[in-house]
Structure 1
Amino acid sequence: MLSKPLLTIHEVSDLLKMKESTVRNWIRDGELRAIKMGRDWRVAVKDLEAYLNAHANRPET
């Protein structure tokens, strides 16, 4: 079983307070790793965390 859930694009956009189209663009451009499940995309929590850490302006302490 998965240790952390997969998030929908809607859930990712709600968490980040961004438009769904922005999240879809990140996925389309290969910036954010996602999994295609039928007609929908899912993002693993670890992949979202990795994306955010990679785009932070300061290193993690």
Structure 2
Amino acid sequence: MERITVDIDKPWLTVADICEYMDASTFVVTSVLRSGEVPAVKFGREWRVARRDFEDWLNHQRTLDRSDAEFGVDV
């Protein structure tokens, strides 16, 4: 399985970067960050995510989705 890489040329991603990449709302992205599911740091009111950590999370999610499909779980 080929590893997902994010085509954004900066080491730290903002919530806006992730929203655009994932086509997700700010609410969804910040909820995931607050949960600790994706390693992130908060500077004042702004979240930052290391691009590598985001890529690792994406790849882990894809692995989970494939595992669910193998066991007949609808994804």
1:27: how far off? 0.8
Alignment deviations for residues 4-43 of structure 1 (CA, whole Å, 9 cap, x no partner): 4211101111011111111101111111111111221101
Q: Distance between the aligned counterparts of 2:60 and 2:41, measured in 1? A: 19
Which residue is 2:51 aligned to?
45
**Greater share of helix residues, 1 or 2?**
2
Q: SS where residue 58 of structure 1 aligns? A: helix
RMSD of equivalent CA atoms: 1.5
Which residue is 1:17 aligned to?
23
- Asked which structure has the greater CA Rg, the reply is 2
TM-score, length-normalised on structure 2?
Answer: 0.67
Runs of at least 5 residues in structure 1 that lack an aligned partner in the other structure: none
Which residue is 1:58 aligned to?
66
Which residue is 1:35 aligned to?
41
Q: Distance between the aligned counterparts of 2:28 and 2:21, measured in 1? A: 13
% identical aligned pairs: 38
Runs of at least 5 residues in structure 2 that lack an aligned partner in the other structure: 1-9, 68-75
Q: SS where residue 42 of structure 2 aligns? A: strand
Name the count of aligned residue pairs.
56
TM-score, length-normalised on structure 1?
Answer: 0.80
